[in-house]
Amino acid sequence: MSSIKESKECMVRKVILLGNEAIAWGAIEAGVGFVSAYPGTPSTEVVETLARYAPKYKYHVEWSVNEKVALEAAYGAAIAGVKSLTAMKHVGVNVAADPLSTSAYTGVEGSLVIVSADDPSMWSSQNEQDNRYYGLRAFIPVLEAGSPYELKDITTEAFKLSSIMKHPVILRSVTRLSHSRIPVEIREPSEIKSKGSFKKNPAKYAVIPSHARKLRGEMLERWNRIEEYLNNVWYNKIEGDGRRLIITSGYAYSYVVDSLKYLNISDIKILKLSGMIPLPRKLVLKAMDGVDEILVVEELEPIIETLVKSLLYDENIRIPVYGKKYIPQIGELTLNNVLKGLSKWLDLEYPLSDVITVDGVELPPRPPVLCPGCPHRGTFFALRRAVIRSRVKPVYAGDIGCYSLGINKPFEAQDTIVEMGGSIGLANGFSHTLSREYLPIAIIGDSTFFHSGITPLINAVYNNAPMLVVVLDNRVTAMTGNQPHPGSGYNAIWEKANEIKIEDIARASGVKFVKVFDPFKIKESEKVILEAINYIKENNEVALVIAKRACSLLVSSMARRKGISIPTYKVDLDKCTGCGICYNAFTCPAIIPMEDGKAYIDESLCVGCGECVEICPFKAIIPSKPWTTEYESLWW
């Protein structure tokens, strides 16, 4: 903390925060009483931060099983009069879209803020959808900070708007905003209310058709009031003056300001919109007064551009409006591509080179790999061997998680990756349309199984879709930073919770062949998988196996915190033949080939999983620091 100062109302602290942490503090200052989410990059740190402070401020926080349930829970809390927040990445809103749309019809009693963290350029996502469209489609206003410095205040404004209008609000962030670090002044909340009350009102909250018809009219009336409200807020404003107008929203505003400074241009008017849906038409028309040309600078889709063109048509105003002609529609905006677009629009020479080098050296590519000690590596290794021995033609239906890296060589065990739960879902289709020589193999993680794998598994049993389901249970939601899930036995603030076993769910769903194996024991793992494949051949029905070992990053960090010795292994160079199985076929990053082809284990990377001992045919890998009982206990 860089400084502390007294305020008449409360203590003010100035701290350096991640953008998502600033969103969390905005929620705390607004008096949030209920928080729910499913982790997903780039949104995760919002609720991680709120979970950290929940014991102090006494609001409820939870990791829900998926985004739909998270939104429903926050929606219910908001109906009960509590200020509520739910957070998810952009594709998570797809999962939550059903209750999202209806929430606008009913409105809320407290406030409901839905944080959608979009991912332009798809840094960790399967698409780069622009969730401002959800605001338009569902009649839910969208707010978006113009810079990281506004994130906390825009969050409190989202709660304020929701509370005033009794209507849900989408707070849109993007990766660049969520993962920036900025100095932020934070204050203690004046009041947090985590308990509400319920007033029976079926005509409002029981959305049967006769009620919904009336509610739609009330929703549209609120929508008009929200538009009027957004015409007069501090975060929507006109800056500068000139015959040319730039209309911009979100983080694009910061790039516009910096680009104009770089180009040394001051005679351009800017309309900054941080509340752009619904479009504040009066403010837009006011900004257009006296201009000859308009450029819309927005990230991803031409939403504001389309709305502005529609407004001009309605008002019979003939001003040229440009947008995606100059500003890219693919990938996240950068200062570089905004500067290029503005230069072209202004008919100026682009001031920078497109080629960026570091001392003339081209850096080698560094594709992501499974971590040292990752239990998924043993599972993929054993799976490939079992499939080869079984002589089936595998169709690997993959899913979203660390194990998506199984798509790479040498495993090549992900033929499809679509969305969470899509592995079992697609395998349902493969099982009924491919000949018996093929075997659909659905590979899904533990958190993903709870998120959206149970329903398609029941579908497979019900419709007799023969497939092998491999659940990779590393005990946490590993890809997003080791958050607990229903199978972990802990809740969002790491208190003991009910542990729900995947094998129990599978059996209750009607799966008859269910077995758990330890992926560190390669030969036993291969044997179990082969047994499952033979069961499918003989019985023509679903078989499910669970590879159960904790995430190595979680284990190694816990070991270091607790002062538990981490075992390591070394190579007996007299026995090593340089066959390369350990570093080419098993691909552990801790095992490195030397010039003569023999293997070397980097003890600074080794987490002592011992998987390599089993896969070495020459028994050349031996322990240099043995396992302890304390270390073994961390893996479960």
Please name every residue paired with 170 in a beta bridge, in sequence order, or none if there are none.
114, 142
User: Predicted confidence band at 7 (pLDDT cuts at 50, 70, 90)?
Assistant: very low
Residue spans of alpha helices (H) in 113-178: 132-138, 151-165, 175-178
Fold entry, domain 3-230: Rossmann fold (3.40.50)
Which pLDDT score, from 0 to 100, does residue 1 have?
Answer: 30
H/E segment holding residue 438: strand 438-445
Q: Which two tokens stand for residue 365?
A: 């590519």
User: For residue 299, is pLDDT > 60?
Assistant: yes
Instruction: Quote the pLDDT of residue 388.
Output: 94
Is pLDDT at 152 greater than 50 in this prediction?
A: yes
For tokens 């987490």, the residue is 607
The domain 375-549: what is its CATH number?
3.40.50.970
Which residues lie below 8 Å from residue 232, measured CB to CB, with a gap of 6+? none
Residue 170 clears pLDDT 80, i.e. is over it: yes
Q: Per DSSP, which regions of 46-149 are E strands?
A: 60-63, 83-89, 111-118, 142-143
pLDDT at residue 354, as a whole number: 53
Q: What is the pLDDT of residue 5?
A: 35
- pLDDT tens profile 247-267: 999 999 999 999 999 999 989
| Average pLDDT of the chain, as a whole number | 92
Judge whether 236-345 and 375-549 match in fold: yes
Q: Is the pLDDT of residue 4 over 60?
A: no
pLDDT at 22 > cutoff 60: yes
- Residue 481 is predicted with a pLDDT of 86
Q: Which helix (H) or strand (E) holds 276?
A: strand 275-277
Mean pLDDT of 303-326: 96
Model confidence at 560: pLDDT above 90: no
- Residue 70 pLDDT grade (very low, low, confident, very high; cuts 50, 70, 90): very high
Are 431 and 508 within 8 A, CB to CB? no
Residues 6+ apart with CB under 8 A from 510: 458, 461, 462
- pLDDT (average), residues 513-538: 96
Please compute the mean of the pLDDT values over residues 531-558 and round it to a whole number. Answer: 94
Q: Is the pLDDT of residue 9 over 50?
A: no
Q: What does CATH list as the number for 236-345?
A: 3.40.50.920
363 — pLDDT class (breaks 50, 70, 90): low
Identify the pLDDT of residue 3. Answer: 30
Helix (H) or strand (E) holding 442: strand 438-445
Say how far apart CA 367 and CA 175 lie, in whole Å. 20
At 634 the pLDDT is 83
Provide the pLDDT for residue 357: 52
Distances (CA, A) of 322 to 241, 258, 319: 19, 20, 10
Q: What is the pLDDT of residues 391-434, one digit of tens each?
A: 999 999 999 989 999 898 899 999 999 999 999 999 999 999 99
Q: How large a percentage of the chain has pLDDT more than 70?
A: 96
Rounded Cα distance between 401 and 405, Å, is 8
Residue 187 in tokens? 């204050």
Residue 635 has pLDDT above 90, yes or no: no
Of 18-22, 193-197, 212-216, 544-548, the least confident: 193-197
Where residue 124 falls among pLDDT bands split at 50, 70, 90? Answer: confident
pLDDT tens figures, 433-491: 999 999 999 999 999 999 999 999 999 999 999 999 999 999 998 888 889 898 998 99
Q: What is the spatial distance between Cα 531 and Cα 528, in angstroms, rounded to a whole number?
A: 5
Backbone conformation region of residue 171, classed left if phi is above 0, alpha if psi is from -120 to 50, else beta: beta
Single pTM value for the model: 0.89
Residue 451 near residue 421 (C-beta atoms within 8 A): yes
8 Å CB contact between 484 and 63 = yes
CA 35, CA 419: separation in Å to the nearest integer? 24
Confidence of residue 13 (pLDDT cuts 50, 70, 90): confident
Asked: is 556-634 a CATH 3.30.1490.20 domain? The reply is no
Confidence label for 2 from pLDDT (cuts 50, 70 and 90): very low
- What residues does each domain of the chain span? 3-230, 236-345, 375-549, 556-634
Which has the closest alpha carbon to 449: 495, 409, 403?
A: 403
